[in-house]
Amino acid sequence: MKKILIASYNLDFGGIEKALLTLLKNLPSEKYEITLLLQEKKGIFLKEVPKYVKIKTYSLSKNTFLLFRKIENRCHLLSYIKRFYHQYDVAICYATYDIPSSILTRYLGKKSIYWVHSDYTQIYREEAALKTFFRKRKIEKFNQVVFVSNEAKNHLLVHYPMLKQKSIVINNLIDDEEIKRLAKEKINDPKNKNQLLFVGRLEESAKGILLLLEVMKKYQAEQQERSLWVIGEGKDLALYQDYVHKNHLKNVHFLGAKKNPYPYMKTSDVMVLPSFYEGFPVVAIEALCLGKKMVTTIDVSSENFKLKEYVYLTKRKEVDLKQKIDEALKDSGKKTFDPKVFNQANLKRIEELLGDDHEI
């Protein structure tokens, strides 16, 4: 039985943490002895970790003096490496951002894997900042690098061509049964005709929600019956509320963060994702699991999954976004999404990755 170590920061609410939980639920316990290594054993997803997954933690210093804290933490990590060096067949750094995870996994596993969950060329637009981020995590030292989409991989390989032979794409798995179960919950917010929905972080530099609000302004000027729910929190909420107020938009409703957004997905007519960039937009796949139409500006296809067969892809321009929303409201000509087939294809890639000593 292969011994697998997966390292992350904690299991609090977040896209990476949610994807990690779904991965843990899908890895076959009869094939792998799985250990989850966390810096902090906390988070809302902890109670959902399968019983067969061992959870270990390592503690880092909280010393307020930076130099002392760095020295203490370096000693802690070296001690942990000495105790568990190469004790695992495969060690995965699952939280892209977490430096301690990137250090430990390179030494604790005979094979090390680094998971990249976003298009970091869009997060760090200047090459110096991008290179600093990945230099600190020593991405080139890993045996394999996994990207969640072709877009994220291809963009980063422009800056790191030496990673090409060790880079693969595996989409995040989806827990469709849980999504469908949660979608049955009753909601109080009344649905309007031609109900649109956005779910995500309210941050303009990434999600580009102002473009969607401009489209809603156009609909109102044309007296077209459209309504928009916005679910999420973020630093630009006031920016969006101010736009709605100044333009007297009557059918845009900010609902805040929702622990369970799935009833809103189920109730809405079209999900809209007008992002500048994404890693792998799990929200789009969640909507497809519920049979919802999806309009998005981002194509995150992989070898196993051609997104454009299932959703309405559009350019990030007002006229194009509006046209695709209208098309989605009228049309039902897209391919039906099968989450079981989707998961099986990606899980097969993961098992090949974990089971083989050579690069795939």
Domains 2-169 and 176-338 equal at CATH topology level: yes
Class of domain 2-169: alpha beta
Per-residue pLDDT tens over the stretch 31-60: 999 999 999 999 889 999 999 999 999 988
**Whether pLDDT at 280 is above 90:** no
Nearest to 262 by CA among 196, 181, 339, 171: 181
Which position has the higher pLDDT, 201 or 6? 6
Beta bridge partners of 144: 113
In percent, the amount of the chain with pLDDT more than 70 equals: 99
In the chain, domain spans: 2-169, 176-338
Inform me whether the pLDDT recorded for 359 exceeds 70: no
Question: Which one of 2.40.50.840, 3.40.50.2000, 3.40.605.10, 3.30.930.10 gives the CATH number of domain 176-338?
Answer: 3.40.50.2000
Q: Which residue has the higher pLDDT, 290 or 306?
A: 290
Residue 317 pLDDT > 90, yes or no?
A: yes
273: left (phi over 0), alpha (psi -120 to 50) or beta: beta
pTM summary value: 0.84
Residue 131 confidence (pLDDT): 97
Q: Is pLDDT above 90 for 203?
A: yes
Report residue 300's pLDDT band, with 50, 70 and 90 as the boundaries: confident
What's the pLDDT at 360?
41
Q: Which residue has the higher pLDDT, 143 or 150?
A: 143
Q: How confident is the model at residue 356 (pLDDT cuts 50, 70, 90)?
A: low
Q: What is the mean pLDDT of residues 331-345?
A: 89
pLDDT of residue 289: 94
Both tokens of 41, joined, read 């054993």
Listing DSSP states for 43-78 in one string gives STTGGGS-TTSEEEE------SSHHHHHHHHHHHHH
Q: Which of 85-94, 184-193, 236-245 has the lowest mean pLDDT?
A: 184-193
Query: In sequence order, which residues have a C-beta less than 8 Å from that of residue 177 and are 6 or more positions away?
Result: none
pLDDT at 184: 96
Confidence of residue 283 (pLDDT cuts 50, 70, 90): confident
- pLDDT tens-digit profile of 230-278? 999 999 999 999 999 999 999 999 999 898 999 999 999 999 999 998 7
Dihedral-angle region of residue 13 (phi above 0 means left; psi in -120 to 50 means alpha; beta otherwise): beta
| pLDDT per residue as tens digits for the range 147-174 | 998 889 999 999 999 999 999 999 999 9
168 in Cβ contact with 353 (< 8 Å): yes
